[in-house]
Chains A and B, each alone.
Chain A
Amino acid sequence: DAKTTQPTSMDCAEGRAANLPCNHSTISGNEYVYWYRQIHSQGPQYIIHGLKNNETNEMASLIITEDRKSSTLILPHATLRDTAVYYCIVRDYRDDKIIFGKGTRLHILP
């Protein structure tokens, strides 16, 4: 079973910030939180990852709660091209099995 729980789908208005939640209540100290997205049937694309601190890159921001049991991916100004399925996974660098789950289908509304 996946180590993370995500809502099945979400809507966001174009131009607004999209906030995608992820619960990972059983995360261990060595596990990083990774976010990927998949547009249509393309190969999943890496977005961002973090361990404890909040992270930001050119694509998104990742907010991790202090107890690390949940996180939020923020797309600051969503565009139609951000319509995709977003996957949150937790992974230790020693992990061999990597379980993706079903992700959140994000719809950007014009």
Chain B
Amino acid sequence: EAQVTQNPRYLITVTGKKLTVTCSQNMNHEYMSWYRQDPGLGLRQIYYSMNVEVTDKGDVPEGYKVSRKEKRNFPLILESPSPNQTSLYFCASSSGSGANVLTFGAGSRLTVL
């Protein structure tokens, strides 16, 4: 089944403890992206990647890092999480051409205490 898989789905952590949210897709998509969703603010793009070793900042990149060493994986790294990073996170992917339909993961709900 074509899908985007995020882990963990739920996480409670403490301020300053480094964490990584993994994202993997099995559709050979070139494009991958991370979004965060907060009440009243909609979906905001954090980082995106057009292909392997190519990443760029979205609208809200502060406090996050990403890497794209393999086509299928696009982990989101919080080096020193803070409470304002408590949010619902979505990873998405799409092909680099054609229909370009975004496929989203199920989401990762992160709480930073």
One digit per residue, 1 when the CB lies within 8 angstroms of any chain A CB and 0 when it does not, for chain B 16-27 equals 000000000000
Whether B43 and A34, one on each chain, are in contact in the complex, defined by CB atoms closer than 8 angstroms, is no
Which residues from chain B sit less than 8 Å from chain A, CB to CB? Answer: 4, 31, 33, 35, 37, 40-45, 48, 50, 56, 58-59, 88, 90, 92, 96-107, 109
The tally of CB-CB contacts under 8 A between chains A and B is 59
Q: Are A36 and B42 in contact (CB under 8 A)?
A: no
| A side interface size, CB within 8 A | 21
Beyond A34-B101, A41-B88, A93-B100, whether A103 also contacts B106 by CB under 8 A is no
- Closest 7 pairs (CB-CB, A-B): A43-B104, A100-B43, A102-B42, A46-B101, A93-B100, A44-B104, A43-B106
What is the bound-complex CA distance between A96 and B33, given in angstroms?
A: 9
If over half of A's interface residues share one DSSP class (helix, strand or loop), that class is named, otherwise mixed; here it is: loop
Residues of B within 8 A of A101 (CB): 42
Q: Which of B37, B50, B88, B103 contacts A46 (CB 8 A)?
A: B103
Nearest chain B CB to A49 CB, angstrom units: 7
Given A96-B56, A100-B42, A101-B42, CB of A46 within 8 Å of CB of B102: yes
Within 8 A of B (CB), among A77-110: 87, 91, 93, 96-103
CA distance A95 to B59 in the complex (A): 14
A49 touches B101 (CB 8 A): yes
